[in-house]
Every structure is written in structure tokens, then in C-alpha cells.
Structure 1
Amino acid sequence: MQIDWSKIISVGAILMSIITIIITKKNLKKQLRLSKLEEILEITFFLKGYYASVFRAFTFMKRGVYESTEENETQSLLEAKKYKDNLIEIMTREIVIDKISRLKILSNAYLSNSIKGGNLKIRIHVISDLYYNMYMFVYSEGYAMKIESNAIIPHLHEMESFVNKIEQDIIKEMKLGYKSIDNNLKEKYFKEQFEKDLQMYSKF
């Protein structure tokens, strides 16, 4: 029996094409997910960077709203409105809504519901809602968004640590093998090495 090598080669070529298509499709999915995780990382970094401004404005607004009456605006509320104006100038309502919405959509689409990841998706949604509620409380001067007196409002260092852990877990999801830089490490470098490096690199 004579072997038809041309048919075998043709079938082999077809199989190789199919395998290549499957591998390419998987790689494209990985690249797409990686880009979306990068976007999630960017948004969390953005929100963390402005949390101090939101927290400060929220703290003053909450005090001002609860101390004031319909007949009398306290000095605290008048001061809070200044913080509100400053906050809105650097972070408009549209920007906040866009960032929060995008963050929740991306996390829903590209993060697992599994608790093995430390409830990463849930943590992202919780801080998203918290951030939005705090901002809208300031924006509406307490009218559009009510905040309970016993609501959990993280202090600056608490939120920073919480979001840092989220960022580390997102990086793990990216499976690139790297970790985000610790603030203590940055501070140590700045105190012990930064000036030396400045002098060394200035010679080049």
C-alpha cells in the first residue's frame, strides 16, 4: 500500500493551523485580561492618591452638616464648603463616577468570585462604594447621600494599607512575579541611598 504523503502533510498542516489558532486565541485572552487588570490597578492607585482630599472634605462636611440647623449654618459647615469646592476642583463628579463605574465593571468581568483570592472582587466593590458615598456626601452637602454616624470610615493610613494589599493581589492575578513597592522601603531608600545616587548619576 502506497502512502499518500501529500495528504498526510496537508492534514498535518491543518492540525498545526488549528493548534496555532487555539494558542493565539488563549494568548489574546491573557493579554486582554492583563490589560484590564492594569487598568484596575491604575484606577485603585488614582483613588488611593486622592483619598486624603476626599477624607478631609468628608470629615469637615459631616461635622458641619450634623452641627448645623436649618436656621443656622455653623462655622464648621462654612469651612466644609471650602473643602468641598477645593475637592470638586481637582476631582469632578463625572471623574469619580467614571472611575468608580469602570472599576466595578472591570472587576466584575475580569476577577473571580472565589474567596481563595481573599475576596479581592468584594474588597474592590466595597471601597468603590465607600469612596463614592463619601464623595457624594461632600458633593451634595449631606443631602443626596446619608452617612450613618457609626459608619466605618477608614483613616488615611488604614485606607492606604487596605488599597496597597488590593494592589498586591491584583499584581498576583497578573502573574508577572512582581510586588508593589512598600512605603517603608521607599522611605529607607530616600533616607539612606537617594542622595548618594543623585551624586553618582550626576557624574554621567
Structure 2
Amino acid sequence: MSEAKLAKYRRTHNFVPPTGRSRQRPVILSDRKGFTLRNNIVNPFDQNIIWWCQESVSIEQSFAWLKRNLATKLYEIGDIALYVWLGTCNLTTKEKSSKYISITTDKSVAVDKITSCIDDIKSYVQDFPQAKFIFLELPVYSVKAYNESKRHPDPKTFKQQDETLAYQVWQVNEKIRATNQTLKTRSPNFSLFLQARKHHRTRSRVEAL
């Protein structure tokens, strides 16, 4: 079944949530992508998710927040399944004086920072037995398409940046897949959720960082 057909099936068929008590509360640590995913949730069952999201935050900034708050959050919530979905704000940048984005660098610096921080997060969270965690792969996205949606006068100039960005996303996702393999887990595909129709939107609880 193709992703489009599966997404249509999800929208037109009732979802029967699993019964019983969940042992771990799902938590998503993310940047702006997390808000997009949250706003496209179609199943009330998914309102059990806790969202630790912040606009335009780098993976290093989110990790710093996690180190300051994880112990307290675990005391408040109990056992969690932590889904780490970060990195896009390292790969692309939007200047405060502009509504357009561009790749942060065409060098390996941004990718190296992300992959290094993935190792740091893994080492840190592993010291908390109450937290099972998984890294979510980054979605493929387009500088050209984003800037075109913001009415850039010549979005075609970003074609080369898109090619560079696609390769950088692939590099990061390779690291994520390898890391998840050591954790004996794998990243789910969140693209289906992002395809949900806007008029099905529901909201689940968001925790401000």
C-alpha cells in the first residue's frame, strides 16, 4: 500500500486505540516540526502525547534544556518514551530580518554538530532507566519550496541549496538509523501524520519550554 493510500485509509477509517494502561508516556522533543505534527493529529488517543517543543531551536539548545529539566520531568510524569526529533534548525537558518530561509552552510559543520549531539544525548539519557528513547529521522524539505511559499521573487536560485540540503538530511538520517540500531529500535515514519487534513485537527497538551 502506498503512503498516499495509507494516509487516506487513516482519515476514512476509525482508529481503535490499544486497550490497557500504557507503561510509558510518549514525549516528543522537537523544534517547530513538533508543532506541525501536533496540529495534524487526527486521533483523540494521540492526545496523550506530551510535546516539548520550541520554535527555531537547535539540537544543542534542546539538549541543554533536557539536561536542566529531564530529572524533574521524570519525577512529575513517571516513565516516558522520549522521541527526539531535532536537527532541521541546524541545517537551515532564517534571518530575523528576513522571511526566507537558506542552508546554514554547504560544509560538513552543521551535520557534524548534529551527529555529535546525537551521541551526547544518547549517553546522557541512557543514565535514566525511566526514559526509553528513540531518534526520529528528519523529513526531506525544500528551501526553494519554502521561500516560494513566502513569495520570494526568484525561488529558482535555491535549487542548488536544495541539492545540498537533501544530502545533509540523508547524512543525518544515516547517523540516526545507526544510533537507533544500537538501541534496538527504529524511527517511525511521521510523514503520514503530516499529510492529515487540516479540518481534522485536534490539540494535545503542549508544555512550554
TM bin (shorter chain): under 0.3
Please give the TM-score of this superposition, normalised by the length of structure 1: 0.25
- More strand by percentage: 2
- More helix by percentage: 1
Please give the TM-score of this superposition, normalised by the length of structure 2: 0.24
